[in-house]
């Protein structure tokens, strides 16, 4: 169905496909990063089943290996073994820590490293990561005594960390970001007193769940679980972790199955942590044909299989700041879904999208407009007039994995074929996306 040219990573995408069959999405990216990091500072061996074998977790693993942690090869279907070095066992790396394209890697590394007294670390990343704001992490860590320096007054990578003795603190985070929260929680593990993080809204809680499982002295309280308290000093113990499939990757198939006539899909082993299921809430409001089956609990995270089939009349939707933290990575594919709804959809309160791997509001508006979509871009969202015919054209992921996969789904319903430049971006979170895309169409 598609072909890739080695030089440009451009892919020919044919319209008119209907999707059917079963798909098992790769492991959750957020949980994979955390398993690697917490396993590294635990005592003993941690085993991880289902760890996402993709570029972003590879970046985290390579940083940790540079600091003396033995992590076995990360390969599809292979259990990963991490030989933990204990809370204080990370060594000073000889090389710069390269975080690649991964915001989670660099931000969680900051939290992990600021308390390594007397040790020096330099962190950098690719073109995209070097433009993303880091002060949102450096600033709260500074309240604990951290030293983080970098371009643009400490906001941009490359960043340098000089490990300090940290103090416990009560910190209110300015945005509901699991990356900021998790960085503070990591720093809190080696502080000299208790730390409390207060979020403006609940962001994904994988760190809290997993740190508790590893034996950290962490409690969650306050209104809707927004106050997280950590008492330092607890020894983390190696665990056996099973990583569920990533709902953010499942989202492409959920939308594809809903919008393409004749489609019928089962997406297996999807993580259903309530801090991540905003996409399901919206699809239900759109009257999509979804059914969750085989609900179960896997290693402290809720999991299920999702059946989805084509819906003739998808309803338009309105989402705002309240739900954004629960679907922050699904806004690009929701923008695609909105193009095929019967009416006008509104996305607001989503200015965080502007500081992701790309400015996702601008990029999705630009690329979908090139296909003929009727979209207005606002400072914090999009207004999408559904029901306009889309046309195949030359598209560009602009290096963003979620944009690449979202656009691929849009081309299924366009009139005429498309070419997607920089389609290889998908490998950041879903290396087999193009294989699954082809297989589900046949």
DSSP-assigned beta bridge partners for residue 190: none
* Active-site annotation holder among 205, 329, 400, 432: 329
DSSP 310-343: --SSPPP-EE-TTTHHHHGGGHHHHHHHHHTSSS
Nearer to ligand S3P, 178 or 236 (CB): 178
Query: Is the Cβ of residue 102 or residue 441 nearer to ligand S3P in the bound state?
Result: 102
Show the site string, 326-365: x = touches ligand S3P by CB under 6 A, - = not. --xx----------------------x-------------
185 or 338: whose CB is closer to ligand S3P? Answer: 185
- The verdict on whether 329 is a catalytic residue reads yes
Query: Toward ligand S3P, which CB reaches closer, 208 or 329?
Result: 329
Q: Which residue is nearest to ligand S3P (CB)?
A: 30
Report in angstroms how near the CB of residue 429 gets to ligand S3P at its nearest.
8
Q: Taking the complex as a whole, how short is the minimal distance between the CB of residue 36 and ligand S3P, in angstroms? A: 12
Q: Judged by CB, which is closer to ligand S3P: 21, or 172?
A: 172
User: Which listed range, 147-155, 171-179, 358-366, 376-384, lies at the site for ligand S3P (CB under 6 A)?
Assistant: 171-179
Footprint of ligand S3P on residues 146-165 (CB under 6 A)? none
Length of the chain: 442
Residues 326, 278 contacting (CB under 8 angstroms): yes
Least separation in angstroms between CB 340 and ligand S3P? 24
Closest distance to ligand S3P from the beta carbon of 136 (Å): 8
Non-local CB neighbours of 205 within 8 Å, separated by 6+ positions: 178, 220, 225, 273, 275
What is the rounded distance in angstroms from the CA atom of residue 426 to the CA atom of residue 403? 8
DSSP bridge partners of 292:
306
Strands in 148-150's sheet, in edge-to-edge order, are 97-98, 120-124, 156-162, 148-150
| DSSP result, 237-289 | B--EEEPPBPHHHHHHHHHHHHHSTT-EEEEEEEE--TTTTHHHHHHHHTT-E
Shortest reach from residue 139's CB to ligand S3P, in Å: 14
- Please, which residue, 80 or 371, has the CB nearer to ligand S3P? 80
Contact by Cβ (8 Å): 247, 275: no
- Closest CB to ligand S3P among 331 and 390? 331
Provide, rounded to whole angstroms, the least separation between the CB of residue 60 and ligand S3P: 10
Stretch of residues binding ligand S3P (CB under 6 A), selected from 81-89, 141-149, 175-183, 267-275: 175-183
With a CB cutoff of 8 Å and minimum separation 6, the contacts of 6 are none
Q: Total residues at the site for ligand S3P (CB under 6 A)?
A: 12
Stretch near ligand S3P under the rule CB under 6 A, chosen from 14-22, 173-181, 254-262, 418-426: 173-181
Q: Print the binding letters for residues 196-215 with ligand S3P: x by CB under 6 A, - otherwise.
A: -------xx-----------
Count of H-run helices and E-run strands, the chain: 14, 23
Nearer to ligand S3P, 178 or 250 (CB): 178
Site membership for ligand S3P, residue 177 (CB under 6 A): yes
Q: In the set 64, 97, 178, 319, which binds ligand S3P (CB under 6 A)?
A: 178
Beta strands in 93-211 (DSSP E): 97-98, 120-124, 148-150, 156-162, 170-172, 195-198
User: Using CB under 6 A, which of the segments 156-164, 174-182, 228-236, 302-310 binds ligand S3P?
Assistant: 174-182
Sheet of 418-421: strand order equals: 11-13, 418-421, 394-396
CA-nearest of 319, 322, 343, 342 to 331 is 319
Kindly give the interhelix angle for 433-441 and 401-411, rounded to the nearest 10 degrees: 10
Q: Could you give the maximum distance between any two Cα atoms of the chain, in Å?
A: 62
Tell me which of 17, 23, 30, 361 binds ligand S3P, using CB under 6 A.
Answer: 30
Which of 179, 266, 345, 411 binds ligand S3P (CB under 6 A)? It is 179
Residues noted as catalytic: 329
Site of interaction with ligand S3P (CB under 6 A): 30, 33, 104, 177-179, 182, 203-204, 328-329, 352
């Amino acid at each position: 169905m598609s072909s890739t040219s080695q030089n440009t990573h451009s892919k020919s995408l044919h319209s008119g496909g209907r999707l059917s069959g079963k798909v098992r999405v790769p492991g959750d990216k957020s949980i994979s990063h955390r398993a690697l990091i917490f396993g590294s500072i635990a005592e003993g061996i941690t085993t991880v089943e289902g760890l996402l074998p993709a570029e972003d977790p590879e970046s985290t693993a390579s940083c940790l290996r540079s600091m003396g942690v033995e992590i076995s090869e990360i390969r599809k279907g292979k259990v990963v073994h991490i030989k933990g070095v204990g809370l204080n066992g990370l060594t000073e790396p000889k090389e710069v820590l390269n975080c690649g394209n991964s915001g989670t890697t660099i931000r969680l590394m900051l939290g992990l490293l600021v308390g390594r007294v007397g040790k020096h670390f330099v962190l950098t990343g690719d073109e995209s990561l070097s433009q993303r704001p880091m002060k949102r992490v450096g600033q709260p860590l500074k309240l604990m005594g951290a030293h983080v320096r970098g371009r643009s007054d400490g906001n941009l990578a490359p960043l340098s960390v000089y490990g300090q003795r940290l103090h416990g603190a009560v910190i209110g985070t300015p945005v509901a970001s699991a990356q900021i929260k998790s960085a503070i929680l990591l720093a809190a593990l080696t502080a000299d007193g208790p730390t409390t993080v207060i979020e403006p809204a609940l962001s994904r809680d994988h760190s809290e769940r997993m740190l508790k499982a590893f034996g950290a002295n962490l409690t969650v309280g306050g209104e809707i679980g927004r106050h997280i308290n950590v008492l330092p000093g607890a020894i983390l113990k190696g665990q056996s972790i099973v990583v569920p499939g990533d709902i953010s990757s499942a989202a492409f198939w959920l939308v594809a199955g809903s919008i393409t006539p004749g489609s019928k899909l089962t997406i297996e082993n999807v993580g259903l942590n309530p801090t991540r299921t905003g996409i399901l809430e919206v699809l239900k409001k759109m009257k999509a044909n979804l059914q969750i089956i085989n609900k179960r609990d896997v290693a402290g995270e809720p999991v299920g299989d999702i059946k989805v089939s084509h819906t003739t009349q998808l309803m338009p939707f309105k989402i705002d700041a309240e739900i954004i933290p629960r679907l922050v990575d699904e806004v690009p594919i929701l923008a695609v879904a909105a193009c095929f709804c019967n009416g006008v959809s509104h996305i607001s309160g989503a200015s965080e999208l502007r500081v992701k791997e790309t400015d996702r509001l601008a990029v999705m508006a630009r690329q979908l407009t090139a296909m003929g979509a009727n979209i207005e871009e606002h400072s914090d969202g999009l207004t999408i007039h559904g029901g306009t015919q889309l046309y195949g054209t030359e598209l560009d992921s602009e290096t963003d994995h979620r944009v690449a996969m979202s656009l691929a789904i849009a081309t299924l319903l366009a009139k005429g074929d498309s070419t997607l430049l920089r389609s290889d971006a998908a490998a950041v979170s879903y290396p087999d996306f193009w294989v699954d895309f082809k297989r589900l169409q046949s």
